[in-house]
């Protein structure tokens, strides 16, 4: 087996929900050993979000493969002591507990790095470790709202959230990349570092286009459903058979091709009402009537064929069942199998083909599946473990 980039790296994660688990699963994909600390009994509350995957949670199976589950009741001294022993030799600690919860348990950089100077600590929170919002509760939808995402997403009448956990995903991605950078930095300095990831700042970075569009009090991009806020035509259009096709024009050359090849109206390309994008954007209703007059005579397949001939970017409006069966994913062999407590399930391989190693695609753990083996590894004997189990510490 080829060597993976993070082979030999140990990550301990006090994690729940999506942001931290998504970060650490990606570290595991690259070979890191990820020890997921969970509550005894119920474990990560994301395990109970739904039962869509053979009785398991869709959220949980997505972000928790290739991990080891260690159950610890960190309110009990024996459990907390075991965690601190584990951190003496770990490379990374990730946590997205409630604000100040880790500090109250003595899991601070000053104390932990005194024992283990190479330890990298990554805190993930809604608003960061300081500032007036530090202690404010933060869920994905709330951050989408605070970051202005809802103000530019949806229809003119209805602000709409993203259909997935975009704020959690953004924070998880920045935690992941910051940890990779910290590992590289440690290779140069020999010392660990402290990373403070904010969901608001992560999604705020992704909102930079609409922020700059509204620079110095300018009107922000309007909500236009699935259509682009400032470029037209760019968005969903109906074909004559009821299908929906997404298409997008980026420049005047494509506008000319669209008129000549797709609409078969060459003269429209020079029509002064529509010869610049800002004019087309201002006259959407008028231009849509012309487009619809053509598109209603074409089937979805015919419309896509014309768009392909004109080299106009296009896509079908796919659904989840279509994504499961997507021929491009099949052709590129993007599916693998992972084991779960309920049996094997398909899983997409991580994005990015690399010819020097294969991604790790190991099992999704049951709650506490690895507790005894990990505790034995750090020096506890059967008697110690039995006492902890009897007291509910594990």
Confidence (pLDDT) at 100 = 85
Tens digit of each residue's pLDDT (9 = 90 or more) over 77-101: 999 999 999 999 999 999 999 888 8
CA gap 133, 137 in Å, rounded: 9
Residues 265, 363 within the same domain: no
212 inside domain: no
Is the pLDDT reported for residue 385 higher than 80?
A: yes
Q: Are residues 298 and 350 in the same domain?
A: no
From 317, 344, 368, the end of a domain falls on 317
286-318 pLDDT, tens digit each = 999 999 999 999 999 999 999 999 999 999 888
Residue 229 pLDDT grade (very low, low, confident, very high; cuts 50, 70, 90): confident
Residue found under tokens 């990374």: 92
Q: Let me know if residue 218 belongs to a domain.
A: no
H helix and E strand count, the chain: 17, 11
CATH number at residue 278: 3.30.1540.10
Classify residue 324: in a domain, yes or no: no
202, part of any domain: yes
Do 172 and 297 sit in the same domain of this protein? no
- The verdict on 302 and 382 lying in the same domain is no
In 3D space, the residue among 45, 65, 3 whose CA is nearest the CA of residue 349 turns out to be: 65
Count Cα atoms within 13 angstroms, Cβ side, for 1.
8
| H-helix segments, 160-227 | 166-189, 199-206, 208-213
Mind giving me the DSSP string for 36-66?
A: EEE-TTT-SGGGGS--TBTTB-HHHHHH-TT
Mean pLDDT for the stretch of residues 155-183: 96
**309-351 pLDDT per residue, tens:** 999 999 988 899 999 999 999 999 999 999 999 999 999 999 9
In a domain, 95, yes or no: yes
Whether 200 and 276 map to the same domain: the answer is no
pLDDT at 1: 63
Is 126 part of a structural domain of the chain? yes
Determine the pLDDT at residue 56.
97
Whether residues 258 and 383 fall in one domain? no
Q: Are residues 124 and 175 in the same domain?
A: yes
Q: What is the mean predicted confidence (pLDDT) over 51-76? A: 97
> Do 30 and 161 have their domain in common?
yes
Can you list the positions of beta strands (E) in the chain?
A: 10-14, 33-38, 67-71, 92-95, 120-125, 194-198, 234-238, 244-248, 313-316, 335-338, 345-348
pLDDT at site 216: 94
Total structural domains within the chain: 2
The last residue of a domain, from among 259, 282, 317:
317
Are 276 and 350 within one domain? no
Mean pLDDT of the chain: 95
Residue 213 within any structural domain of the chain: no
HEC letters along 8-25: CCEEEEECCCCHHHHHHH
Is pLDDT of 285 > 70? Answer: yes
Phi, psi of 175 (to 5 degrees): -65, -45
Domain co-membership, 137 together with 48? yes
User: From CA 159, how far away is CA 139, in angstroms rounded?
Assistant: 17
Which domain does 358 fall in, by range?
10-206+329-391
> Per DSSP, what are the bridge partners of residue 316?
245
**Pick from 59-63, 100-104, 284-288: least confident:** 100-104
Residue 230 has pLDDT above 90, yes or no: no
One domain for residues 32 and 180: yes
Can you tell me the distance from the alpha carbon of 246 to that of 235, in angstroms, rounded to the nearest whole number? 5
3-state secondary structure of 372: helix
The b-or-e profile of 232-243 (16+ CB within 10 A means b, else e) is bbbbebbbeeeb
77 within domain boundaries: yes
Domain boundary among 317, 346, 381: 317
**Torsion of the alpha carbons at 293, 299, 301 and 307, rounded to the nearest 10:** 0
CA dihedral 36, 37, 39, 42 (to 10 degrees): 10
My answer on whether 154 and 201 are in the same domain is: yes
Residue 235 and residue 227 in contact, taking contact as beta carbons nearer than 8 Å: yes
Average pLDDT over residues 255-271: 96
User: CA 275, 276, 277: angle at the middle one, nearest 5?
Assistant: 130
Residue 124: CATH number of its domain? 3.40.50.10540
User: In the predicted model, what is the mean pLDDT of residues 238-247?
Assistant: 94
Please give the average per-residue pLDDT across 282-286, as a whole number: 94
CA 264 to chain centre: 42
Q: How far apart are CA 224 and CA 238, in angstroms?
A: 16
């Amino acid at each position: 087996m080829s060597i993976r980039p993070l082979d030999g790296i140990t990550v301990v994660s006090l994690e729940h929900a999506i942001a931290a688990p998504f970060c650490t699963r990606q570290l595991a994909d690259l070979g890191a050993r990820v020890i997921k600390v969970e509550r005894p009994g119920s474990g990560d509350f994301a395990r109970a979000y739904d039962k869509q995957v053979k009785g398991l949670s869709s959220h949980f199976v997505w972000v928790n493969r290739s991990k080891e589950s260690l159950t610890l009741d960190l309110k009990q001294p024996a459990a907390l002591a075991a965690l601190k022993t584990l951190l003496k030799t770990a490379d990374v600690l990730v946590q997205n507990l409630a604000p100040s919860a880790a500090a109250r348990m003595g899991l601070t950089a000053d104390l932990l790095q005194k024992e283990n100077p190479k330890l990298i600590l990554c805190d993930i929170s809604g608003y960061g470790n300081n500032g007036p919002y530090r202690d404010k509760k933060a869920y994905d939808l709330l951050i989408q709202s605070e970051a202005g995402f809802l103000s530019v997403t949806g229809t003119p009448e209805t602000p709409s959230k993203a259909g997935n956990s975009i704020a959690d995903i953004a924070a998880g991605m920045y935690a992941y990349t910051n940890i990779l950078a910290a590992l590289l930095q440690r290779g140069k300095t020999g010392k660990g570092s402290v990373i403070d990831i904010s969901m608001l700042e992560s999604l705020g970075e992704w909102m930079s286009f609409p922020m700059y569009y509204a620079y110095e009090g300018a009107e922000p991009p309007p909500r236009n459903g699935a259509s682009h806020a400032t470029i037209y035509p760019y968005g969903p259009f109906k074909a004559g058979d009821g299908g929906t096709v997404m298409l997008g024009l980026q420049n005047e050359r494509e506008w000319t091709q669209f008129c000549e090849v797709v609409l078969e109206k060459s003269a429209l390309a020079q029509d002064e009402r529509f010869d610049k994008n800002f004019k087309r954007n201002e006259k959407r209703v008028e231009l849509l009537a012309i487009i619809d007059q053509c598109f209603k005579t074409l089937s979805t397949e015919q419309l896509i064929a014309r768009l392909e001939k004109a080299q106009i970017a296009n896509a079908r409006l796919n659904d989840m069942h279509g994504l499961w069966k997507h021929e491009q994913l099949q052709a590129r062999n993007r599916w693998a199998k992972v084991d779960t407590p309920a049996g094997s399930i398909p899983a997409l391989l991580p994005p990015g083909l690399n010819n020097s190693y294969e991604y790790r695609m190991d099992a999704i753990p049951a709650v506490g599946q690895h507790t005894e083996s990990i505790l034995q590894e750090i020096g506890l004997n059967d008697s110690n473990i039995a006492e902890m189990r009897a007291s509910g510490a594990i």
